[in-house]
């Protein structure tokens, strides 16, 4: 019997568990650890609350979670409650699937002014992550600046722009929908350091900005390359650029019908965040492209900003005693192998790129490597050994059936039109699990 520990219960974790089941059938036991009492990581805390169909993938993970030889070991923080070294002693393979939950810093002067948030914090706030539930962004000013031209920037822009009614059917948490309902933001500036052809936004998500109740996107036609150049783009990117062209063509009369404007500012690299206590403006340098890279032109200007959300990508959280690649922001690894018996998968292996589905082949690939390395397993104690350790340390482990009680309680307390009202405090989750 092989004993496998997977650290992290997001997409990479569950796809890896699914791959382990396919690889070894009943000849494996998988423990999936999570520092929170609730599973699914990015699906619960990263995917936008108004993208419920994407969140539906968790039903597939549930099928894996309910198998007899797979166990959810929630509310256990690796590095605090148990060390990596202890897990390596207990299990034939330890696979880090911890994702990339931390913001990459932009390294800008003034980044520590109030009302500037990284996307992990801001997204965590509206998705009810316990670490960010108390964020209290001030939405009382007039202009928000969102830095970055990726899908996370798009999520943040859309959430800032939507009306209460447009959140019908979403699981946005009450503290966020109430705050957004009272928002005074009337202009959202999206800063991209490169141009329309270089955006990292996918067409479906970008297209949504064209259908908002109270907001209209604005693109300066002068920023768009000649239409003939779109033929050089791959089809998805071409569709995204077509959306930008449609936004550039919106007539002023149609624009004025809606009170909120989403302005795309391309070739615009942030240089500094300016303010006195709280942020008031962003200093921006105009750029041009050289070999596809943004190069400053020396021309600068100032964009007023009462709120700034920096959406420039994520990094993995280091774990004591695990080699880390600081520059890449993920564990140092060779195609998923960190050292004998220790592996990484998903964003923790390759950095924060690709779709949720990209993690499935990643999970299957790492299990193939583990299979080649560990053979039949070496009789390690695995789950039973961890249980002894958990008992000795009095850890309040939350298992999958406990999570199902939390889940039911969240569904029961949902406001009208919402699938659930998430608990945002760990102690409330544990109480709902009946473990308080
Ligand atoms: P991303 O796709 O890597 O985009 C990051 C953006 O930040 C890029 O536009 C990048 O510009 C810009 N940037 C990086 N460093 C910068 C700096 N120092 N100054 C200014 N701009 C900077 O990252 P993401 O948006 O965080 O998304 C992460 C992953 O999750 C992606 O694979 C994304 O597609 C996925 N995701 C998908 C969905 C969805 O499908 N609905 C939703 C959310 C996230 P350059 O290109 O110039 O580097």
Q: Note the pLDDT tens digit of each residue in 353-373.
A: 888 999 999 999 999 999 999
Nearest atom in ligand 1 to the alpha carbon of residue 46 is: 43
Q: What percentage of the chain has pLDDT greater than the value 70?
A: 100
pLDDT of residue 224: 98
User: In a 3-state reduction of DSSP, which class is residue 254?
Assistant: helix
Closest C-alpha to ligand 1, atom 4 = 150
Task: State how far the Cα of 295 lies from the Cα of 404, in Å rounded to an integer.
Answer: 52
Q: What percentage of the chain has pLDDT greater than the value 90?
A: 97
Neighbours of 327 (CB within 10 A): 6
Q: What is the DSSP string of 35-78?
A: SSSS--THHHHTS-TT-HHHHTTHHHHHHHHTSTTEEEEBS--B
Q: What is the mean predicted confidence (pLDDT) over 244-272?
A: 95
Task: State how far the Cα of 432 lies from the Cα of 427, in Å rounded to an integer.
Answer: 9
Summarised one tens digit per residue, pLDDT across range 309-348 is: 999 999 999 999 999 999 999 999 999 999 999 999 999 9
Q: Ligand 1 — pocket residues by CB below 6 A?
A: 106, 147-153, 155, 193-194, 198, 200, 202, 205, 269-270, 294, 311-314, 352-355
Neighbours of 229 (CB within 10 A): 11
Helices vs strands, H then E, count in the chain: 16, 19
Pick from 71, 172, 163: nearest CA to 128: 172
pLDDT of residue 253: 87
Closest C-alpha to ligand 1, atom 21 = 148
pLDDT of residue 435: 82
Mean pLDDT, the chain, rounded, equals: 97
Q: What is the mean predicted confidence (pLDDT) over 241-263?
A: 94
Cα(352) to centroid(ligand 1), Å: 9
Task: State how far the Cα of 30 lies from the Cα of 33, in Å rounded to an integer.
Answer: 10
Cα(97) to centroid(ligand 1), Å: 20
pLDDT of residue 255: 86
Binning the chain into helix, strand and coil, the percentages to the nearest 5 are: 35, 25, 40
Q: What is the mean predicted confidence (pLDDT) over 25-46?
A: 97
pLDDT of residue 151: 97
pLDDT interval class at 211 (50, 70, 90)? very high
Closest C-alpha to ligand 1, atom 18 = 106
- State the first-to-last Cα distance of the chain, in angstroms, to the nearest integer: 34
pLDDT of residue 198: 98
Pick from 384, 315, 318: nearest CA to 96: 318
Ligand 1: which of 123, 159, 200, 203 to mutate, judged by most atoms within 8 Å of the beta carbon?
Answer: 200
pLDDT interval class at 376 (50, 70, 90)? very high
Classify strands 324-325 and 2-7 as parallel, antiparallel or unpaired: unpaired
Nearest atom in ligand 1 to the alpha carbon of residue 119 is: 26
Closest C-alpha to ligand 1, atom 30 = 353
* Domains of the chain and any CATH numbers: 2-101+316-432 (3.40.50.720), 103-313 (3.50.50.60)
CB 17 within 8 A of CB 70: yes
Pick from 159, 146, 187, 186: nearest CA to 270: 146
Cα(68) to centroid(ligand 1), Å: 38
Please report how many Cα atoms fall inside a 13 Å half-sphere around the Cα of residue 436, on the Cβ side: 12
Task: State how far the Cα of 77 lies from the Cα of 98, in Å rounded to an integer.
Answer: 11
Q: CB burial class (10 A; 0-12, 13-18, 19+) of residue 432? A: buried
Rounded to 5 degrees, what are φ and ψ at 83? -90, 160
Q: What is the mean predicted confidence (pLDDT) over 423-434?
A: 96
The full 3-state SS of 306-339, as one line of letters, equals: CEEEECCCEECCCCCCCCEECCCCEECCECCEEE
């Amino acid at each position: 019997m092989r004993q496998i520990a997977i650290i992290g219960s997001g997409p990479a974790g569950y796809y890896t568990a699914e791959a382990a089941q396919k690889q070894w059938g009943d000849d494996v036991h998988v423990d999936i650890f999570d520092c929170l009492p609730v599973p699914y990581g990015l699906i619960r805390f990263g995917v936008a609350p108004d993208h419920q169909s994407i969140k539906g993938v968790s039903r597939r993970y549930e099928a894996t979670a309910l198998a007899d030889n797979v166990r959810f070991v929630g509310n256990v923080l690796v590095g605090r409650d148990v060390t990596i070294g202890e897990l390596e002693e207990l299990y034939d393979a330890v696979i880090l699937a911890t994702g990339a939950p931390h913001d990459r810093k932009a390294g800008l002067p003034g980044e520590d002014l109030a009302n500037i948030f990284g996307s992990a914090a801001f997204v965590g706030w509206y998705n009810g992550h316990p670490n960010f539930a108390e964020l209290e962004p001030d939405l009382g000013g007039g202009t928000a600046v969102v830095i970055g031209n990726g899908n996370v920037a798009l999520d943040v822009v859309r959430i800032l722009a939507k009306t209460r009614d447009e959140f019908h059917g979403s699981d946005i948490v009450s503290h966020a929908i109430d705050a957004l309902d009272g928002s005074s933001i009337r202009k959202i500036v999206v800063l991209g350091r490169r141009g329309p052809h270089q955006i990292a936004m996918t067409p479906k998500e970008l297209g949504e900005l064209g259908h908002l109740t109270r907001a209209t996107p604005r693109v300066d036609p002068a920023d768009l390359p000649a239409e003939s150049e779109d033929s050089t783009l791959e089809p998805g990117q071409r569709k995204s650029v077509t959306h930008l062209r449609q936004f550039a063509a919106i007539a002023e009369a149609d624009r004025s019908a809606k009170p909120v404007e989403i302005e795309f500012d391309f070739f615009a690299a942030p240089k500094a965040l300016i303010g006195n206590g709280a942020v008031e403006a962003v200093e921006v340098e105009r750029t041009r492209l050289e070999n596809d890279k943004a190069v400053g032109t020396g021309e600068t200007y100032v964009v007023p900003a009462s709120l700034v959300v920096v959406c420039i990508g994520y990094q993995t959280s280091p774990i004591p005693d695990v080699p880390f690649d600081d520059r890449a922001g993920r564990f140092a690894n060779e195609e998923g192998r960190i050292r004998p018996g220790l592996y990484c998968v998903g964003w923790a292996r390759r950095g924060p790129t690709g779709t949720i589905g990209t993690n499935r082949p990643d999970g299957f690939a790492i299990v193939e490597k583990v299979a080649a390395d560990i053979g039949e397993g070496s009789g390690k104690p695995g789950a039973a050994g961890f249980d002894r350790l958990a008992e000795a340390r009095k850890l309040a482990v939350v298992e999958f059936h406990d999570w199902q009680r939390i889940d039911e309680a969240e569904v029961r307390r949902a406001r009208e039109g919402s699938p659930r009202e998430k608990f945002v405090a760990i102690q409330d989750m544990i109480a709902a699990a009946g473990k308080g």
